[in-house]
């Protein structure tokens, strides 16, 4: 069964820093990987979707990479802002369901 792990579980950084969130998965047979943002008590907001054939995707200050063979993905956030504070979830799509990671809780300190 696919298992998705995210490290670190929590991260606190001063405003302006660049940071990297990590996601690893055990089964490389995935269709795509998606990064989500979740604010407290809210649903999910999709940030970036990487198809299995792609290596990275970029949107504004966000860049996500995918190394399917090693079962890893990273989310890079440049010039972090207090508004980036949230929980970030990665999820892999195995063809019939999403497998979600445990999440990284990010706090950006003004």
Partner 1 sequence: GAVVSQHPSWVICKSGTSVKIECRSLDFQATTMFWYRQFPKQSLMLMATSNEGSKATYEQGVEKDKFLINHASLTLSTLTVTSAHPEDSSFYICSAWLSSGATDTQYFGPGTRLTVL
Residue (13 or 44) nearer to partner 1, CB: 44
Asked whether 106 and 48 are in contact (CB, 8 A), the reply is no
Residue 49 binds partner 1, judged by CB under 8 A: yes
Question: Among candidates 93, 94, 91, which has minimal Cα distance to 102?
Answer: 91
Range 17-36, binding partner 1 (CB under 8 A): 36
DSSP 3-state of 102: coil
Residue 42 binds partner 1, judged by CB under 8 A: yes
Rg (CA), the chain: 13
Residues at the site binding partner 1, with contacts judged by CB under 8 A: 36, 41-44, 46, 49, 89, 91, 93, 96-98, 100-103
């Amino acid at each position: 069964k696919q298992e998705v792990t995210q490290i670190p579980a929590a991260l606190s950084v001063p405003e302006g820093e660049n940071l990297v969130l990590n996601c690893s998965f055990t089964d490389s047979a995935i269709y795509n990987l998606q990064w989500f943002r979740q604010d407290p008590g809210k649903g999910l907001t999709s940030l970036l979707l990487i198809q299995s054939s792609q290596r990275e995707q970029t949107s504004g200050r966000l860049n996500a990479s995918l190394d399917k063979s090693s079962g890893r993905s990273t989310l890079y956030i440049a010039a972090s802002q207090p508004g980036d504070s949230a929980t970030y979830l990665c999820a892999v799509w195995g063809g019939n369901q999403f497998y979600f990671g445990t999440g990284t809780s990010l706090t950006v300190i003004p």
